[in-house]
Structure 1
């Protein structure tokens, strides 16, 4: 049986990319019975009725799935944050990073609107970029207006499924327009190209950008740490996880335990204080979460 990738879902039909053709498929009733829905990004086995139509028989195991819009097997998340207008926020970025890391998605930090910064603001952003790179993250500074840094994004799109995530107003649409001008997305207003217009709420589609597939989406139905447990949080901060190898006690949460490798790294400024403070705040948030039954 042929295998392909769902790249579009619309009104109960799933469009499977197979051998450079799109096959319009329906899901078999067994999926509804088992309460499984095929998702854009799924690798599937299908049965072709003819050159244009068929039925999905099997959904391959997913590496991950996001909730809004529903999409599976995401490789990379471009976390788009502006240097100014709105101002760069490390706490919001770290919240996105934790959620991306927890979902086993590789983050690329993209800081936009560098053309709008004055010398002091630029220096501040460059220092943050240096610190996040030291933590192990890829950081790209861009301007959609001048197209500075845009070419550095293309290699990270190649042959991957990516999402562009970030708060409104940071320039996600402008960035996508710079990467692929024929999209002609309106800034601050996602067009139906990407399935988020007023009349296309059920339309989810991956579009080709830079030899990869992209969905423009917040990627998360909320920014709350609903499924993350306290002991998992360190894993979502790569530099804290690395420093935790020097903790005396297994299961150290790096708060009040003695001989903690993480706190030693913070004291010696190997880990920025703000990153540790965000970890402590997020840990408390997880501990304060109401239990689920």
Structure 2
């Protein structure tokens, strides 16, 4: 028996499939002491295991840099939020929910605007003016024609990246243009580890451009149960940056006087769409908490 390290690329029916640093794919179970800790392991986790042939026992999960709760995936280098400029029209609220999810989890994020040829005049510029000053790159593309993809490929090369967005945004078309062999890789992994056809609720890592693409079923329709944060401000970096300027500790930035966040909105320093998303998310989180207490 030997010791190996690697990354979990899929969990299924109590088994963990680990891409070893030695190039071997290991089918693993968990050692008893790990079960006693009740430690939840995720796709993307780096692990140490005891190996015998192609089978192994995971004995330790190495330190994580981040964890996305739903879908459950660890150690992401980037979350790409993919939206169409038209057919379907983009939702600023859904954009902000996806970015809030990444922000709360400590995951760098970028915004991909597909079908830029369908964008009403000024839409792309509006997105760029709102999100790029906050540190979120905006990539306008036409995935079907393969236009504008080079900056995205450079962003994800060698990294572990999740692509999420609503149905119809063109995520699959984008991925196939970025790496035409991705479909073949998906089929290869499927036959080797028994991947169902979009039946799993769990994330899966697929080899991509020297790193991994995270296949995240059900990732497009974000609800607030997926936003693992104590308060809405945790998902908005521009609000967090100004909270100390508010008169009252614990200011909700909704009705209190002398609120620096509301003042920044009035000055045009915080986009009104972002503030509206913050208020909506804050209300939904409050309602979610009430339902949790009643159950």
What's the counterpart of residue 235 of structure 1? Answer: 234
Structure 2 counterpart SS, 1:257: coil
The DSSP-based 3-state class of the residue aligned with 2:10 is strand
Q: Displacement of 1:159 after TM fit?
A: 3.2
Structure 2, unpaired ranges of 5+: none
Q: CA deviation at 1:213?
A: 0.8
1:252 and 1:227 mapped to 2: Cα distance?
A: 20
- Check whether the contact 1:91–1:278 (CA below 8 A) recurs between aligned residues: yes
Q: Map of 1:31-110 to 2, 5 A cutoff?
A: 31-50=34-53, 52-110=54-112
Equivalent residues of 2:4, 2:20 under 8 A apart: no
1:9 aligns with 2:8: no
Match of 1:20 among 23, 43, 51: 23
TM superposition score normalised by structure 1: 0.84
Task: Work out whether residues 10 and 204 of structure 1, in 8 Å CA contact, stay in contact via their aligned partners in 2.
Answer: no
Q: Distance in 1 between matches of 2:201 and 2:99?
A: 27
Change (3 A) 1:179 1:196: farther
Q: Answer whether contact 2:206 2:215 (CA < 8 A) is retained.
A: no
Q: CA RMSD in A?
A: 2.7
> What are the within-5 Å matches in structure 2 for residues 207-286 of structure 1?
207-217=206-216, 218-219=218-219, 222-225=222-225, 227-229=228-230, 232-286=231-285
SS at match of 2:181: helix
Structure 1: where are the runs of 5+ without partners?
A: none
Aligned residues: 282
Name the CA shift for 1:276/1:203 in 2 (closer, same or farther; >3 Å).
closer
Q: Does 1:123 align with 2:122?
A: yes
Q: TM-score, normalised by structure 2?
A: 0.84
Q: Distance in 2 between matches of 1:13 and 1:244?
A: 42
Q: For residue 122 of structure 2, give the secondary structure of its aligned residue in structure 1.
A: helix
The answer on whether the counterparts of 2:176 and 2:183 sit within 8 Å (CA) in structure 1 is: yes
**Compared with structure 1, are the counterparts of its residues 46 and 220 closer, same or farther at alpha carbon in structure 2 (3 Å cutoff)?**
farther
Sort the Cα spacing of 1:221 and 1:6 in 2 relative to 1 into closer, same or farther, 3 A.
farther
